[in-house]
Structure 1
Amino acid sequence: MRRTLLVLTTSLALTVPVLGVAPTSAASYDGAPAVEARADAEAVTGRVTDAAGKPIEGVSVYFRTEPGRSVQTDADGRYDSRDDEFLDLQPGPVLIDFDKWGDTLDDPVYWSQQVQVTVVAGQAVQRNATLAVRPSAVFTVRDAAGRRVVNAPLTIQVRDVDFNGGQWGPIQSGPHTTDSTGRYRFTAGFDEVRFQVGLPAGHRGAEVPEWWENAYSFATARSLTFPSGVALRRDLSVQLGPAPRKALSPSRPVVRGKARVGRTLRARPGTWRPAPVRLTYTWFRGAKRIPGATKATYRVIRKDVGKRISVRVTGRKAGYTSASRTSAKTIKVRRR
């Protein structure tokens, strides 16, 4: 099975090829001649293109029998192992990695490819390769004023059936930060990814770290995925801001008392947390607000006859979002 590990970068995306290998021989590849006569050295040559047949320049071609030795494709996508004078291939099977990452965040990223070729004594074997574009998302991080945030650290959690037993866990690479333009590129490789954007050292402002997208906890964060058919390049954004207000835990009020003219109705607000919470009251006659009725009690008047009375309680607390709850309506008010 072919798997490719995730690569995350700011200004480049490293790719770690795993497999997708089919042994080859000295026969022809991709319609090209199998062997070029060469008496003085063994070699591997070829051409690297994308899915549309366009040559890819700057592909690194690594030869596994010579750790650290590689050549690069030219403007026409062609490579020749003999371009590295210190690369000494020996007859027999050799693994070759084709690797290409963008020099900038705006360059395409390609899936790596690994092949096996049989080197023939005194001959040049040809092996072409086709690299597919790897889906990626480029995030732009901004502060509350809309300015790009440079060197913003990212905390990344990943989930994949072949990683950590399919459980969420921190990605095994890093550190990861936005680049000098406040951007960060994330490439496909895991089933789901969630990340938190933090603040660079020395940052001054009211902004707080935030999980993508507009979330302040891992549980409520949105997952970044790369399903089949997704655009190969997505431009997304994260705008940091002040810490959101916390939510009150309200209770629905209850109206006590007889709905008769001259009687007093009382609002029982229930328990609001975290205490203390400042409560205000608004009484309603049917769907209309009763002018001046803003206390916890309301004395029923003749104008209320035939109408149903209810009360709305609003709670407020510093650092919390205000909340309102409305009681059930009483029976229709009677005269006596």
Structure 2
Amino acid sequence: MSRSTRLACVFVSTLLALSFAVSSTLPAQAEDTTDPAPARATATRADRQLAAPPVDHRVTKRSVATKGERGSRPTRTAAGLEPAKSVQSSRISATTDDPATEPSIYGEVWESYSGDAVEGITAKIWHDNLFGGPPVATAVTDAYGYYSLGALPAGDYVLEFSGDGFITQWWDHNNYGSIGAKVITVTADGPGTEANAELDHLDTISGTLTNSKGKPVAGRWITLYIWLTSGQYWGELDSVTTNSAGRFSFPELRPGSYAVDGELPKGARLKAEAHYLSLLSFSGPKNAGLLAPWVVGSPSIGLEQKADAGPGKWKKASFSYQWLRNGATIPKATKKTYTPGLADLHTQLQVRVTSRVGNYWVTATSPTSWPLLRSSVPQIRGTLAVGSEVSADPGAWELASVPSYQWYADGKQIAGATAQSLTLTTAQKGKRLTVKVSGTYQNFPVISRTSSATAKVTTAGTPTITGSPAVGSTLTAKPGTWNKKTKLSYQWLRDGKAISKATKASYKLGAADAGTFISVRVTGKLSGYATVTKISGQVPIPA
């Protein structure tokens, strides 16, 4: 083939690639389910009085690990939560033990909606100066989202990621064809190149149109609008007519904020649902909310999770909720909040929210939560008296969690009290204690649990015994200094065991006490304060 012929082939291939790149940015047209379609009036931007959508709060709230952290994020498996593993992939090409040090391309793929790793994404590379033909190497991401293209010949490559339900992406973060792909140079001696990808879902908005009696309305135009941030207005994207079952569908939509409207007969009900997109819930040009559900709460069983419907003006909206566990409906979990239990351990939650404003219903589903970890409410152990030591019992937490502690008195931090134990001083007298235990597990959000408040810290004396330690003599208990109005009770002990009916401040030694050790237990009770028990030292009684 001559040089001019090769250049011509490259030119034609370039035009085809550019054509494909441009066409891939256009929305896919939904199939018109009514044939023939009825005529309709042309809708302009001014005809549709839709309120501007609020900013999608999920863009700023999404908790996604950074590129450097992502390799340590755990992934849900059938056996429960396991620590993330080193790079391991289902490789079609030759494998390498350590792609980070070999001439290879490797990395991780996650979805933009929730930040979860994605299994089954195909990674392919081509030489950057060739168009068409088979790829040089192919790999598929594993359950942890990892892939490796194995040992590669030195050269310049372009990398493509593709998978069912996702927008094909050319590295680095280019959704618009290979022309804009970033070249990856592989050298013969390594090291490998890490190439990660965050993929966007393709989604479908579907729904039904029914009359006031719930029967389907066929042959009516339904229009889809997309919010154009560059021009700050709603642009008409597509229109279809409802089929005989009153259904409509707009497939293969890219991420964004959408609104659905239509030719509604009087009393008709329009329902629309999406999964990965944000939908406008509106009533007129001023009252609107952007239905963009989000699960709010620390990722642990036992801690309440809350459904955040999204930003906007929701005064005229009513909501319904359905919580999901690993994508499956949780029976009876239909409130705004949900407290996960043991059945939810190491699973991920979502919430499906439906907003109704007038005769418009829109439904959307939140991203998955972080996998739910194990944590417990801490308990405070020890004597709640000045001079005594108390300690925090953290309970059961996720293995490998690193706990930290903070003590509080009447809700205020005790400066420097960050150890598991605390020696009480007069500064805590008359105050109630709590302790907050915070667990750090890999790169998960920090989980904090706070104990119940104790009774008030009291002042309790250490009892002593006076009197002659001889059979026939009387011993007297001196209780020490206690809070005023504290009611004291006594129990005398012989070799550590209670002596029957010996419950006064004094005790007369009898024959049974010869050759034993006598002590006294004093218990102080005061309303609102901790009940404290103190035991004296033992007094030996001669035989």
**TM bracket, shorter-chain basis:** 0.3 to 0.5
TM value normalised by structure 2: 0.29
TM-score between the two structures when normalised by the length of structure 1: 0.43
Larger radius of gyration: 2
Identify which of structures 1 and 2 has the higher relative contact order when contacts are C-alpha pairs closer than 8 Å and 6+ apart: 1
